[in-house]
Amino acid sequence: MMKVHLPNGIVVEGNILSSNKDERGFLRWKVSYHNVTGEETQAESSRLETKDGKILCAGCGSENAALIVTEKEEICLCRNCQEKVKVCEDCGHKALSFMTAEEKIVCRKCLDDNYVLCDNCGQHIHSDNAYSTANEGYVCQNCYENHYFTCQRCDNLYHNDDYRGDGYCVNCYEEDEEDKFYLDPDVIRVTEETKEKLRVLLKKPLPVSLPGYCCGNEGDPYIAQIIKILGKVDFPVYLYGLQDREEYQLSLAAITLRKFQKSEWKRGFRATGNSSLNKIGICLDLRKNQFNRVVRLVKYLTRR
């Protein structure tokens, strides 16, 4: 039998059923005892004493603990465990199980609630300082700067191992390659009949897509808002975000780029071409600081 100090201040005699550690690393014992009506009851307690008055340590369970009273709580700890107790820098509570994250000491509960693991180096980082990757993971600032890049097409964060060229991740690069159409004159033989059909076809206007709504990377709040404001357009396109570029601000399909270059819009923005037939990339600085002008520009490019 043990002396059990219940949370309501009552001291009873009971038996230990099991023990576990709480979110800060302190032991909590599950005990059974008989209440005032004689019924067997179960409860949890963080303070137990032996029949001869020895206090159990809430850190390791040994019998040579002392009661430590602080402003916030009472803790029973042996001398060895007292040296291991630290103050959590997030919540201010003392904790036995603590870990260093970003050179901070935090308790297990704060670690679980506020921190994530860096996929690259395995260190704990505060969720506010973490960068989200394309694989729904997280990376720290150092790994972000040294081992990752942002794809210019999909605007997602990838490890350098996934870089394939032209600023594209492996997925977007492969899509870009699939979009390209190659004609090798040494392999393809064109008959005179085919040449004549091509001459007739090229004199006709190019077919246009039916009016509809633009789509795009709606995980970007600016892109989602642009799509909503545009409504139905004559030439629906896919809108995606670019990071800020010094050499250009827009990425436009060839046919859209020609329309842009013939307009007055070319005086205000710098654009480059891409191989896609219906995509427009807009850099972050424009989306943030020139939002209304960007909306007017996209309207111009997607309407007759």
Name the average pLDDT for the chain.
Answer: 84
Question: Is 219 within a domain?
Answer: yes
Q: 1-5, 80-84, 180-184: which has the minimum mean pLDDT? A: 180-184
Number of structural domains the chain divides into: 2
In three-state form (DSSP H/G/I as H, E/B as E, the rest C), the secondary structure along the chain is: CEEEECCCCCEEEEEEEEEEECCCCCEEEEEEEECCCCCEEEEEECCEECCCCCECCCCCCCCCEEEEECCCCEEEECHHHHHHCEECCCCCCEECCEEEECCEEEEHHHHHHHEEECCCCCCEEEHHHCEECCCCCEECHHHHHHHEEECCCCCCEEEHHHEEECCEEHHHHHHHHHHCCCCCCCCCCCCHHHHHHHHHHHCCCCCCCCCEECEECCCCHHHHHHHHHHCEECCCCEEEEECCCCCCCEEEEHHHHHHHHCCHHHHCCCEEEECCCCEEEEEHHHHHHCHHHHHHHHHHHHCC
| Among 179, 170, 101, 166, residue whose Cα is nearest residue 135 | 170
Residue ending a domain, among 40, 65, 84, is 84
Fill in the amino acid letter for 146: N
Residue ending a domain, among 67, 84, 101, is 84
Q: What is the mean pLDDT of residues 257-274?
A: 89
Q: What is the pLDDT of residues 145-177, one digit of tens each?
A: 889 988 888 888 888 888 887 788 888 877 766
Q: What is the mean pLDDT of residues 91-117?
A: 81
Q: Which domain holds residue 273?
A: 212-302
Question: Is 69 within a domain?
Answer: yes
pTM over 0.95: no
Question: Is 48 within a domain?
Answer: yes
> Which residues is 11 bridged to in the sheet?
5
Q: What is the pLDDT of residue 67?
A: 86
Q: What is the pLDDT of residue 178?
A: 56
Q: What is the pLDDT of residue 286?
A: 92
For residues 270 and 228, the answer to whether their CB atoms sit within 8 Å is no
Band (296; pLDDT cuts 50, 70, 90): very high
Residue ending a domain, among 84, 109, 136, is 84
Q: What is the pLDDT of residue 24?
A: 82
Phi, psi of 9 (to 5 degrees): 90, -10
Question: Is 109 within a domain?
Answer: no
Band (268; pLDDT cuts 50, 70, 90): confident
Q: What is the pLDDT of residues 189-244, one digit of tens each?
A: 667 787 777 777 666 555 555 688 999 887 888 999 999 999 888 888 999 988 88
Q: What is the pLDDT of residue 209?
A: 54
Question: Is 127 within a domain?
Answer: no
Fill in the amino acid letter for 68: I
Query: Is 289 exposed, middle or buried (CB count within 10 Å of its CB: 0-12, 13-18, 19+)?
Result: exposed
Q: What is the mean pLDDT of residues 53-64?
A: 89
Question: Is 194 within a domain?
Answer: no
Question: Is 14 within a domain?
Answer: yes
Question: Is 110 within a domain?
Answer: no
